[in-house]
Chain A
């Protein structure tokens, strides 16, 4: 079979270049946009992804980690009754008002009260054993390196949260929060900082299972029980997604992403389809001749679609190469960029969809390839 589509693409590459660039840039824009958004909003689930708990238990209807309400502390015994559960620990989330030693005004902080034991689950992937040990001291807190300026404090200094004195015993990395500053302390310290008398139990109970793969099943099983008052359970993965999705879609950021994706798609499709249409028009007499010789319109359409596919594939290749370089550059500059498989797939689908729509548009101009017009 003579590869008409590919040979034309190679021979007349200049003609197809604008389409490939349009597709490539559309893909690249989309890729970087998604990576940035995931990077920035991914920090809203770091409490989950930075910990080694498999199942999270919290108040029903909780939309994001930062929006929890207290549950009954007795739920802990319910969790421990489940044979799949190996370890349970409470997690306290308290919104605090920070007053530092320097003039910083009020800073809103998210206090995380965790079990500082060496085998504690919360923030086990972020906190070093040494920092964890130091948290066990009364009134000790750990803050993120990036928040030091914001809080106006250094190691060993004291400040107040909700009017209670705290002391910075360590600086950590990877605790950057969105819309506030994360402060880590022990459960005991956290309870002292909590000035809401109605808060009695923990905000969450997190559990480690014997078999992490069972998280979904166990979460489902725990959810069915209401004996200990209102609570619900999620697998860690689900809860992390829930939190990110809340920020993505309920804050309008997601809508912004989708809106921009729409615009990128539209502009890309217009340029690509116009280029492909011009290419078809440039060869319309040849196509008409083939049709006169009996080559069906369907076969000719396939040629156009194949060209669109190759334009999409080559554009994608360029976008991927450039995207990797730019992502590495961003990482080296501490710009939060994250790309996961679904996001990458979404980009691929968008780019190939764009090429397909353009190909379909170009296919329409094949109607002008009427062999009777060659005889006038």
Chain B
């Protein structure tokens, strides 16, 4: 894992969208979600995109993480242009570099917390021992060392989300995408999740891109992007230490 002090803010952004357009067609209705949208996301930061529902923030997350194709423009993640990768290559890219945390925890009912975390690692070509070591470390990091053998039905909502974070974290990804990670949780559990995400960005040097309208997250984010109607309305840095390399979104 990376140490915090070794990671300087990079000049090449971890994620970059250039003149991206995306529309959804349903029947005769065509909805332009993003139109000529550009954005840079810096490495090793917790970036928060907030905005009302339907503003295109989840679509943006899907595009930057390579889950959704774009109509025009270009997207780079860690220097790879995602549009150039086929389905297999995209899967491989995600396997090696990205973690996801979703609003629903999406845990398999039959598996214990430990197995949920171990499962994706099995597909990364890690040895069994290494996979188990990482799974254990991740669960310890999110404070679930004592709950590893429990199934989702025996865990609380907050614990489930922590398992989901551990599942993403155990992959040691450079990029971590989180979609409304706290919206299904109460205040205390939401706070725990926020703290964990913040710590991941700063201690592991992971680029954390979080989409949320939870105001509690704003305080902990290094950078907050307010989005509306497919455009960035404001771009604020809340962390005093990181003030350089500001870019102008479209």
Give Cα A291 to B106, complex, Å. 12
In contact, B119 and A375 (Cβ under 8 angstroms): no
In contact, B120 and A295 (Cβ under 8 angstroms): yes
Give Cα A8 to B107, complex, Å. 12
Chain A residue, CB-CB nearest to B151: A11
In contact, A286 and B120 (Cβ under 8 angstroms): no
> Which listed residue (A288, A294, A296, A376) contacts B58, Cβ 8 A?
A376
Assess whether A258 is interfacial by the CB under 8 Å rule: no
In contact, A11 and B94 (Cβ under 8 angstroms): no
Assess whether B11 is interfacial by the CB under 8 Å rule: no
Q: Which of B20-43 contact A (CB under 8 A)?
A: none
Residues on the A chain within 8 Å of B115, using CB:
2, 7
Give Cα A297 to B92, complex, Å. 11
In contact, A374 and B179 (Cβ under 8 angstroms): yes
> Which listed residue (B59, B108, B171, B179) contacts A4, Cβ 8 A?
B108
In contact, B123 and A292 (Cβ under 8 angstroms): no
Assess whether B80 is interfacial by the CB under 8 Å rule: no
B64 to chain A, nearest CB (A): 11
B59 to chain A, nearest CB (A): 7
Assess whether B167 is interfacial by the CB under 8 Å rule: yes
In contact, B106 and A374 (Cβ under 8 angstroms): yes
In contact, A299 and B106 (Cβ under 8 angstroms): no
Stretch at the interface among B97-105, B154-162, B194-202, B212-220: B97-105
Assess whether B88 is interfacial by the CB under 8 Å rule: yes
> Which listed residue (A8, A11, A12, A374) contacts B104, Cβ 8 A?
A374
A3 to chain B, nearest CB (A): 9
> Which listed residue (A8, A283, A285, A294) contacts B98, Cβ 8 A?
A294
> Which listed residue (B58, B110, B123) contacts A10, Cβ 8 A?
B110
B227 to chain A, nearest CB (A): 14
In contact, B128 and A1 (Cβ under 8 angstroms): yes
A280 to chain B, nearest CB (A): 12
Assess whether A318 is interfacial by the CB under 8 Å rule: no
Assess whether B150 is interfacial by the CB under 8 Å rule: no
In contact, A11 and B109 (Cβ under 8 angstroms): yes
B188 to chain A, nearest CB (A): 25
Q: A8-B110, A372-B67 are in contact. Are A296 and B88 (CB under 8 A)?
A: yes
In contact, A372 and B62 (Cβ under 8 angstroms): yes
In contact, A293 and B108 (Cβ under 8 angstroms): no
A176 to chain B, nearest CB (A): 54
In contact, B120 and A293 (Cβ under 8 angstroms): yes
In contact, B95 and A288 (Cβ under 8 angstroms): no
Chain A residue, CB-CB nearest to B94: A294
Chain A residue, CB-CB nearest to B105: A289
Give Cα A292 to B98, complex, Å. 8
In contact, B68 and A286 (Cβ under 8 angstroms): no
In contact, A374 and B102 (Cβ under 8 angstroms): yes
A contact patch SS: helix
Residues on the B chain within 8 Å of A297, using CB:
87, 91
Give Cα A293 to B65, complex, Å. 10
B129 to chain A, nearest CB (A): 13
In contact, B109 and A372 (Cβ under 8 angstroms): no
Q: A293-B171, A294-B95 are in contact. Are A375 and B107 (CB under 8 A)?
A: no
Residues on the A chain within 8 Å of B88, using CB:
296
In contact, A299 and B119 (Cβ under 8 angstroms): no
> Which listed residue (A7, A293, A296, A374) contacts B111, Cβ 8 A?
A7
**0/1 string, A284-313, CB within 8 A of B gives 1:** 011011111111110100000000000000
**0/1 string, B57-87, CB within 8 A of A gives 1:** 0110110010110000000000000000001
Q: A2-B111, A11-B110, A374-B104 are in contact. Are A296 and B123 (CB under 8 A)?
A: yes
Assess whether A230 is interfacial by the CB under 8 Å rule: no
Give Cα A322 to B62, complex, Å. 52
Q: Which of A334-350 contact B (CB under 8 A)?
A: none
In contact, B67 and A293 (Cβ under 8 angstroms): no
Q: Which of A348-376 contact B (CB under 8 A)?
A: 371-372, 374-376
Give Cα A55 to B120, complex, Å. 64
In contact, B107 and A293 (Cβ under 8 angstroms): no
Q: A285-B104, A290-B120, A297-B91 are in contact. Are A375 and B58 (CB under 8 A)?
A: yes
Residues on the B chain within 8 Å of A10, using CB:
110
Residues on the B chain within 8 Å of A285, using CB:
104, 106
In contact, B94 and A7 (Cβ under 8 angstroms): no
Chain A residue, CB-CB nearest to B87: A297
Point out which of A4, A285, A294 has the most chain B C-beta atoms below 10 A from its C-beta: A294
A-contacting residues of B (Cβ < 8 Å)?
58-59, 61-62, 65, 67-68, 87-88, 91-96, 98-100, 102, 104, 106-111, 115, 118-120, 122-124, 128, 151, 167-168, 171, 179
What are 16 A-to-B residue pairs whose CB atoms are below 8 Å?
A4-B119, A7-B110, A7-B111, A7-B115, A11-B110, A291-B91, A292-B100, A293-B95, A294-B91, A294-B98, A295-B123, A297-B87, A372-B68, A374-B106, A375-B61, A375-B62
Q: Which 7 A-B pairs have the closest CB atoms?
A: A294-B95, A11-B110, A294-B94, A289-B106, A8-B110, A7-B110, A372-B67
